[in-house]
Structures are given as structure tokens and as C-alpha cells.
Amino acid sequence: MQVAGNVFVVTGAGNGIGRSVALELVRRGASVIGADLDEPGLAETAAAAEDPARFQGRVLDIADQASVTSFAASVVAAYGKVDGLFNVAGIAQRPETTAEITDERIEVLMRVNFFGAVWLTRAFLPHLLERPEAVIMMTSSLSAIAPFPGAAVYGASKAALALFGYGMAQDLRRTSNVTVTTVLPGTVWTNLVRGTSADLGVSEKLTKAFAAKPEGVAKRMVEATLRGKQRVVVGKDAHAFDVMRRLSFRVAQKASDLQVGTMFYKK
């Protein structure tokens, strides 16, 4: 798909993978509307853009359906078209068991990680269907491939998003030129991962050395989405768990317990 001259919406653009995806699209000649709750973070993304004039930051709470609907309408009104939606925004679950996590936190995780992307996608879909070709990307997670201790709800939210992406790709396969790509990244050095490693008591230096860089991950995500690939696994750990999960669910469970369980149960 052509990038230069097209208009893309990227959520979570105030930091981490979302920022890197937005900057990669701007670098390729696109106009990007970056959405995030973090207004200072959006300003930093704009400052880092190769051409700041082609990046516009918009404050948005994707957990608020009315705000999502209003945001989509305002973007279309301002730009006249939208050629792609990159759903990147997400939040982490602090390491805690299903008995410990509160109902309120469960609802927030599902609203941000699942419903927010669903609402945005449905809000933009009528406009995307009018384009000669268009793309949608869902950012799932390694946690949707294998279960990890202390992250049952986070994993569920990301697995739900993955299945939504796969199903939507099937819905649109024969009826439109809109492609849907679901990306399952492994450990990426972002604020989300930094916070989780701190909660588990893992050395930041060790986690950073193990994690993939968001710039490289973003490039892979953008390239795969523009090619219309349906499912993309990114990162060495994600690939390893994907292979293990296909061979044996029990092996994947044991590996996730070894990776996270030892630290999780110490707390």
C-alpha cells in the first residue's frame, strides 16, 4: 500500500511502540493523527517527527466510547479521508492473581485493551471502506499466545483483540480492499514493560537488554500491515512461545512459569 500522501490514525502515539509507529509512518511520507491521553508525550512525538507538520497529536481516552465516536468524526471532517488505523494503545496489568485484581481494574483493562480498539475500528470502518485500499492494525501480545502468571486479565484482553482482528480479516476478505493485520509482539522496551519489570523486582538493566527496541518492532509492524499480512509475530521470545504453543500447550505453560513465575510468586 502507498504511504506517502495518505492519512493514518495511530493510538498510543505518546510513547513506546505507538510513538515509533507514528514516527515511522511520518518518515515514509504519511500524515499521522496520533491519539493518546498523554498530551506532553504527544508533543514529544511531534518534536521527534521528521516533518512535524505531518503529525498532529490529539488527546483521546479510548476507554470512553462517546469520545471515540467524536474523535473519528472530527478526524474525517478535518482531513477528508482516512487510509489506515493503527490500534496500538494499551495498558498493563500489575502482576496479581485473579483473586487479587479488582473488578474495577478488570473493566478498565478490557475497555482500554479491547473495547477501545473495537470502538475505534468500527467508527472508522465506514470511511476506510470508501478508500481504494485501506489498512487496520491490531496490537495484541505475547500474552495472547501463552498464559503468564499474574496477567490473566491482560492476556484475556489481548487474546480477545487478536480473535477480533482475525475474525474481522475474514469478514472483509472477499468484500473490500481493507486488510486487517494482527500483531503479537514479545517483550519490547517501553514504559509498560519498565513498570511491569519493576513490579516483579527485575533489574531494569537486565530487562532492557532482553527486550526488543520499539523502533525496530514498529518498522516490522508497519511493513507487515502495509503488505496486508493477517498475523505477525514479532520478537524472539514471541516466536519461541509461538512455536512451543503449537507443539505443546503444557510446554508453553512451563516456559512461562520459568520466565515469570519464579519472580511473581516471590512477592
pLDDT tens digit at each of 267 positions of the chain: 889 999 999 999 999 999 999 999 999 999 999 999 999 999 999 999 999 999 999 999 999 999 999 999 999 999 999 999 999 999 989 888 999 999 999 999 999 999 999 999 999 999 999 999 999 999 999 999 998 888 999 999 999 999 999 999 999 998 899 999 999 998 875 656 555 555 555 545 545 554 678 889 999 999 999 999 999 999 888 888 899 999 998 888 888 877 665 555 555
> Are the CB atoms for 141 and 154 separated by under 8 Å?
yes
Distance (Å, whole) CA 169 – CA 140 = 15
> Are the CB atoms for 212 and 187 separated by under 8 Å?
yes
Residue 9 in grid coordinates: 490514525
Give the C-alpha distances (Å, rounded to integers) separating 96 from 219, 247, 260, 266.
32, 28, 12, 12
A 10 A CB-CB count for 71 gives 24
Q: Which residue has the cell 523502533?
A: 215
The sign one gets for the Cα dihedral 103, 107, 153, 189 is negative
Distance (Å, whole) CA 229 – CA 238 = 17
The sign one gets for the Cα dihedral 36, 37, 42, 45 is negative
Q: What is the pTM of this model?
A: 0.90
Distance (Å, whole) CA 198 – CA 182 = 28
Residues with catalytic function: 154
